[in-house]
Amino acid sequence: MRADWTARDEVRAILRASIKRLLVKNGYPPDKQPDAIRLVMEQMKTMAPRYTEDRTEDRYAATTEK
């Protein structure tokens, strides 16, 4: 299974904008924002498969519990 945002450019653009808003809101230096955004996107991509597995296991457990 693949996370939607890893496959769709428009979703990645929305995520980058959200990250930038959070950086600005929290006073992150403008000159360091591009690197921070890139780092967060890389971390999200790395964690996506594990998150998807965890969510699948949660859904399976919820349907099998009595």
Say which residue the tokens 């991509």 belong to. 45
| pTM, two decimal places | 0.68
Q: Give residue 16's domain range.
A: 4-64
Number of domains in the chain: 1
Q: Residues 12-42: pLDDT tens digits?
A: 999 999 999 999 999 999 999 999 999 999 9
pLDDT of amino acid 17: 98
Q: Taking a C-beta distance cutoff of 8 angstroms, is the pair 4, 11 a contact? A: yes
Q: How far is it, in rounded angstroms, from Cα 23 to Cα 30?
A: 8
